[in-house]
Chains A and B, each alone.
Chain A
Amino acid sequence: MAASVAQPRLLPSGDSAVTVEFSRDIDDAANGRVLALDRNLAAAQIAGVTETVPTYRSLLVHYDPVQIGFGALGEQLLTLAQRPDPAAARTRRWRIPVAYGGEHGIDLDDVAKALDATPDEIVRRHVAGDYRVAMIGFTPGWSYLSGLDKFLHMPRRQNPRVLTPAGTISIGGVQTGIQCIAGPSGWHLLGRTAVRTYQLHRDPIFLLEPGDTVSFTPVDAKTFAEQDRAAEAGEFVAELVAA
């Protein structure tokens, strides 16, 4: 067993859920511990634990208070939080095609201007990134990725857009993300992918898992259109390069 590390905080989220908080900030190490606890908790199969929701800095654990109380569950969670990550060595790695700029990434030129770089430089840096799915949330399949190049960190838009397209690849703050269904966003739109991280009537319905690693490959608009048709028909389009 690894040397004892700082204990997370157990924050009650009502009588049927507890937030196990490792950090107050976006922190890669904290996210690693969140994902480790998530895997260790799944393996422990504690009666009464019904569902878990990993986020950047905490693990939300839903439970049935008829089967297990806050105190007893909390003790077990603190014990499990000390265990090393059982799955760190065999993470899934996805390669995701992106059509950058133009109609697919309407903010690319503005981002380049704001960061005093060329659009090509922005794309080059975004493609060079090695990302981890830190959490999935907000709307189905919205995958928040950590590991964004510091050069690309920039504040979110002053005026969030009410509607941004499905498949949008964007940056906001210290994060980048894959948006699956059309919806509001205050992030900067760099491109679009044909990959559906959420698609009904496909197996699996959700493509990415928290903890998966992701890299991006640039494609042209024509390829995007072809991939979009294939994805609509149920193909992953994303390439699983390691598992």
Chain B
Amino acid sequence: MSKLIVSSIGPASSVQDGGRPGSQRYGLTPSGAMDRLALAAANTLVGNEPFAAAVEIGPFGASFTARCSAVRIALSGASRSADIAGRTMALDTSATLADGETLTLGFAKGGSFSYLAIEGGIAGEPMFGSLAVNARAGLGSPYPRPLQNGDELQVHPASGAAERRIELPERPDAPIRILFGPQDDEFSEDSKKLFLDSEWKISATSDRMGYRLEGPVIKHLHGHNIVSDGTVNGSIQVPGNGQPIVLMPDRGTSGGYPKIATVISADFGRFAQVSAGHSFQFKAVTMAEAQAEARKFTELLRTLPDRLRMLESLDLNLEALSAANVAGHAVNAVDAATWQVAESATS
């Protein structure tokens, strides 16, 4: 096994994967990646299953160092600067860290969460089929808590596969689409109109349990207590102060505030990436539209491998690369790193 050392990391960074749905009836929240498309894209770049465990990196900077061998990685999600020993790494590409090399990531610029996938995944002991961190329930592997400086992830040595980029559809800077319900009848038509017509900001006190919104006060018709019922990712509950909270993957499985609306599943990852302080609006859609979008999103996830491309800047080396593969030699990690040096020298 090789290691990826967490040389430095900020808060709100943890190992996440597709989560552990299936036990919400016992009060166990599913957790999992905030932005599933970005997780799947990063994993696809290094040949992993789309929802394999990866490092979810919050808005702050981070750095990771390969130990014992080269380690192949990929980065997707929030845009931020990424640098390997002076070589720039682009978002939505794979790259290989030679043994001892460090990947340095800057603060998130567009978005909040980046996903660092590692070829072969992260070694750990799955609980309920998942390595995802849920600190409150004591779940998550290799660490049942957010990552800290000095943590070590057991990973596979780089295979030497050619580096790729992935062409993702542009994410529109459009309103976040919602379906009203399940408790929209606890609000007047005026309150619902105010909810749709207003600009909202994500509060800095938001976390993986919920995003608190700042904007006009949304008043209830009959008070803010309902008998607790089940929640989903994207449930928009309105507590007594009238400032909505959008429930995220570490949410409580039940909640006692009326839920005015729900973010549609296709927009959930895009919503999760809205950074604190940034303004956005909601837009209501019909069930038919929401479910059509959900099907399109599932199809996008399914066809991610079709969107892989060789890194253009490596075009000149493609012959050598394919020759190495055809000849049955695994391209070794030192070579992979060398190509990148050559590439940055010529570009």
Contacts and interface: CB of A to CB of B under 8 A. Distances in A.
Given A24-B227, A50-B21, 11 more contacts: A13-B230, A14-B265, A14-B290, A15-B265, A24-B226, A50-B22, A53-B253, A137-B254, A206-B23, A206-B28, A210-B25
Interface string B110-152: 0000000000000000011000000011110000000000000
Interface string B209-244: 000000000000000001111111111000000000
Contacts of A62: 21, 24, 232
B182 interface: yes
Given A70-B291, A138-B254, A14 B262 contact: yes
14 contacts: A12-B179, A13-B181, A15-B262, A19-B230, A21-B182, A21-B229, A25-B227, A26-B227, A55-B227, A58-B230, A65-B291, A138-B252, A139-B252, A200-B138
B295 to A, nearest CB: 5
- For chain A, which range describes its interface: under 10, 10 to 19, 20 to 34, or 35 or more residues? 35 or more
A118 to B, nearest CB: 32
B210 to A, nearest CB: 14
Given A14-B232, A15-B264, A51 B25 contact: yes
Contacts of A53: 24-25, 230, 253-254
Contacts of B270: none
Contacts of A16: 232, 265, 294
8 tightest CB-CB pairs across the interface, nearest first? A60-B230, A137-B254, A14-B262, A11-B182, A15-B290, A53-B230, A206-B26, A12-B181
Interface in A1-33: 11-17, 19, 21, 24-26
A139 B251 CA distance: 9
Contacts of B325: none
Interface string A128-170: 0000000111111110100000000000000000000000000
A196 to B, nearest CB: 12
Given A139-B27, A140-B137, A12 B230 contact: no
B228 A183 contact: no
Given A11-B182, A141-B26, A206-B26, A55 B229 contact: yes
A188 interface: no
Interface residues of B, number: 45
Contacts of A50: 21-22
Given A57-B229, A140-B28, A14 B179 contact: yes
B232 A138 contact: no
Contacts of B265: 14-16, 65
A54 interface: yes
Contacts of A181: 136-138
Given A12-B262, A15-B287, A19-B182, A51 B22 contact: yes
Nearest to A55: B229
Among B128, B228, B231, B265, which residue has the most Cβ atoms of chain A within 10 A? B228
B264 A136 contact: no
Contacts of A140: 23, 26-28, 137
Interface of B: 21-28, 127-128, 136-139, 179-183, 226-235, 252-254, 259, 262-266, 287, 290-291, 293-295, 298
Contacts of B263: 14
Nearest to A25: B227
A15 B267 CA distance: 11
A223 B28 CA distance: 30
A13 B136 contact: no
A65 B294 contact: yes
A140 B234 CA distance: 20
B252 A137 contact: yes
A47 interface: no
A69 interface: yes
A217 interface: no
Contacts of A11: 181-183
B225 to A, nearest CB: 10
B182 A56 contact: no
Nearest to B298: A66
Given A21-B182, A137-B253, A139-B136, A54 B293 contact: no
Nearest to B222: A24
Given A14-B264, A14-B265, A19-B182, A138 B27 contact: yes
A167 to B, nearest CB: 15
B209 to A, nearest CB: 11
Contact of B291 (A25, A69, A141, A206): A69
A216 B312 CA distance: 69
A15 B227 contact: no
Contacts of B26: 136, 140-141, 198, 206
Interface string A36-70: 00000000000000111111111110100110011
B232 A60 contact: yes
B226 to A, nearest CB: 7
A12 B182 contact: yes
A137 B137 CA distance: 13
Given A13-B235, A14-B264, A140-B28, A66 B294 contact: yes
Contacts of B291: 15, 65, 69-70
Interface string A210-229: 10000000000000000000
A57 B183 CA distance: 13
Contact of B254 (A12, A55, A183, A200): A55
